[in-house]
Amino acid sequence: MIHRAAPFVIALVAAIVGPAAVPMAAAQAAVPVAPVIELLSSAAADERAIGLERVRYGLRGEATTARLANLLPGLGAAAQRELVLALGARGDRAALPAVRTLLESTKDATLKNACLTALGMLGGPAEVPVLVGALASPEPERTGARQSLLLLDPPGSDAAILAAAAAAAPDLRSQLWTILTERNAWGRLSEALPQVVAAIGDGNAAVRKAALAAVAQAGAAAEVPGIVKALLAAPEGQDRNEVERTLVNVCTRGRDPARSAAAFFGLFTAATDADREALVAPLGRIGGPQARGVVDGLIDATDPARRRSGIEAIVRWPDAGVADRLLALTESAADAAERDRLLNGLIRIAPQPVNGLNDEKKLELLQKTIGLCRADKDRARVLERAHAIRTIASFRFVVPYLDQPALAEAAARSVVELAHHRQLRDAHKDEFIKALDRVPAVTQDAELRERAEAYKQGRTWKRQ
């Protein structure tokens, strides 16, 4: 039975065979097999292209597929390659035995790659062992095998790939887990997530990375305890940061973020003081009313270490719900290092696109933040963040800083970024042209100058 021929498959075939194999029309009426066979045997490329077109779309039935597949042994390598890919695009599993036989018998790398590609178009779970084995082959077979593993139909193929990963050496296991992530398969394989979570602490870096990506894709409340355990066991530095990012992702953007965040908060509450110190940073990044109460309590504590933990949490908050608290703390901070951390937090959250504030409130917060800056480097960071607020008010806030040499570069960057948005630029054309005219005088950045000139002329700019 013909089971599929997705547009992605056709694009893949076209990339491998060339433009001659691209479909010329919609599916055609049934045509006799003998003339097609004659076309496929032709020495003329254009005649073969017509025959291949009819293999893909013009002929019908499994018996016809088998007859066409039986031509493969009698063709030259180039014609075999063309026909294999056409049979793959045809989508009829009746071609599978002939394709697998050819794969096993040929030593031509390009033809092997075509066979592996066709297996992805035609195959299912039974083809997984062959494709997994080909991942150890040289190029181009390795790439063909990987593409086909991505293409195989779920759900049975997901389980077959997972089973192959379980029996594989670490480097291959990491590749197969990554393929499952790219197949968006982990939601269909939730029963396997406990073993994947356990691998977050694996000694192999590639396995750890693949496990984290899998858990980030499909993790939910049930996985949170395992992620927290891995976080507490991870050494400080990059390894712990990667686990923390995964935990935050699961609790803020995962399959059930509210339940996952509640599970994490329960673990945080029950943790020892030493473990809480490691968990307070992700607590701040996850946020929420319960976390806010804990963080406020830490900040108000008389113990300096607890206060530092609270500050580290609040400056990582995911939205501007803590803006007033950050403003007040920054204004009253006596310690220079603490004040810098708080100011950094303000600069980060003020213009964020998802923080519960409308554009007017975002700009108001940004204006208050620049008023708290004591150094030009911090003011410049505020100005560079302003372009995230895509309004004429934000543009007008930035433009006067073109007159201040220490801040003109940052202001010019935001002016140009705002000008990138044609609707905003066209609605206030004269103002934008005047500001863009000034950009070349305040920046040595060639790209910024080029963009300013393009936007002045009403052209779209694209990075070369």
Q: Can you spell out the DSSP letters for 169-199?
A: -HHHHHHHHHHHHHTT-GGGGGGGHHHHHHG
Q: Give 112's contacts (C-beta < 8 A, 6+ positions apart).
A: 103, 106, 134, 137, 141, 144
- Tell me the pLDDT tens digit for each residue of 303-312: 998 999 999 9
Rounded Cα–Cα distance for residues 285 and 348 (Å):
13
Rounded Cα–Cα distance for residues 269 and 248 (Å):
17
Q: Which pLDDT does position 353 carry in this prediction?
A: 62
Q: What is the CA 263 to chain-centroid distance, rounded?
A: 26
For residue 111 the two structure tokens come to 């033809």
Over residues 278-289, mean pLDDT? 93
Count CB atoms within 10 A of the CB of residue 21.
21
For residue 223 the two structure tokens come to 């996985």
Instruction: Name the percent of the chain lying above pLDDT 70.
Output: 92
Sign, Cα dihedral of 121, 127, 129, 133:
negative
Highest mean pLDDT of the ranges 5-14, 37-46, 209-218? 209-218
Rounded Cα–Cα distance for residues 371 and 347 (Å):
11
Is pLDDT at 21 greater than 60 in this prediction?
Answer: no
Is pLDDT at 350 greater than 90 in this prediction?
Answer: no
The residues with which 2 forms a beta bridge, in sequence order, are 92
Rounded Cα–Cα distance for residues 337 and 344 (Å):
11
Rounded Cα–Cα distance for residues 299 and 435 (Å):
43
Q: Which pLDDT does position 20 carry in this prediction?
A: 43
- Asked if residues 367 and 340 have their Cβ atoms less than 8 Å apart, the reply is no
10 versus 138: which is more confidently predicted? 138
Is pLDDT at 30 greater than 60 in this prediction?
Answer: no
- Tell me the pLDDT tens digit for each residue of 83-96: 999 999 999 999 99
Is pLDDT at 412 greater than 50 in this prediction?
Answer: yes
Is pLDDT at 116 greater than 80 in this prediction?
Answer: yes
Q: Quick one: pLDDT band at residue 422, thresholds 50, 70, 90?
A: very high
- Asked if residues 187 and 218 have their Cβ atoms less than 8 Å apart, the reply is yes
Is pLDDT at 1 greater than 70 in this prediction?
Answer: no
Count CB atoms within 10 A of the CB of residue 177.
27
Domain boundaries, the chain: 1-150
Rounded Cα–Cα distance for residues 192 and 225 (Å):
15
Is pLDDT at 123 greater than 60 in this prediction?
Answer: yes
Q: What is the CA 149 to chain-centroid distance, rounded?
A: 19
Q: Which pLDDT does position 3 carry in this prediction?
A: 45
Is pLDDT at 120 greater than 50 in this prediction?
Answer: yes
Over residues 39-54, mean pLDDT? 89
Q: Quick one: pLDDT band at residue 464, thresholds 50, 70, 90?
A: low
Is pLDDT at 220 greater than 50 in this prediction?
Answer: yes
Is pLDDT at 419 greater than 90 in this prediction?
Answer: yes
Phi-psi category of residue 27: left, alpha or beta, with phi > 0 → left and psi -120 to 50 → alpha: beta
Q: Which pLDDT does position 460 carry in this prediction?
A: 85
Sign, Cα dihedral of 237, 242, 246, 251:
positive
Q: Which pLDDT does position 238 carry in this prediction?
A: 87
For the chain, the average pLDDT equals: 90
Is pLDDT at 28 greater than 60 in this prediction?
Answer: no
Q: Which pLDDT does position 32 carry in this prediction?
A: 76
Position of tokens 């190029």?
139
Nearest to 231 by CA among 220, 217, 221, 241: 241
With 0-12 CB in 10 A as exposed, 13-18 as middle and 19+ as buried, what is 289?
exposed
Rounded Cα–Cα distance for residues 92 and 62 (Å):
7
| Number of alpha carbons in the 13 Å side-chain half-sphere of residue 50 | 13
Q: Omega before 289 cis (within 30°)?
A: no
Instruction: Name the percent of the chain lying above pLDDT 90.
Output: 78
Q: Which pLDDT does position 7 carry in this prediction?
A: 40
Position of tokens 């039935």?
61
Rounded Cα–Cα distance for residues 51 and 355 (Å):
58
Over residues 224-243, mean pLDDT? 93
Over residues 89-117, mean pLDDT? 95
Q: Which pLDDT does position 354 carry in this prediction?
A: 61
Is pLDDT at 268 greater than 50 in this prediction?
Answer: yes
419 versus 237: which is more confidently predicted? 419
> Tell me, which fold does domain 1-150 have in CATH?
Leucine-rich Repeat Variant (1.25.10)
Q: Give 397's contacts (C-beta < 8 A, 6+ positions apart).
A: 363, 366, 367, 386
Rounded Cα–Cα distance for residues 319 and 338 (Å):
20
Q: Quick one: pLDDT band at residue 403, thresholds 50, 70, 90?
A: very high
- Asked if residues 350 and 323 have their Cβ atoms less than 8 Å apart, the reply is yes
Is pLDDT at 262 greater than 60 in this prediction?
Answer: yes
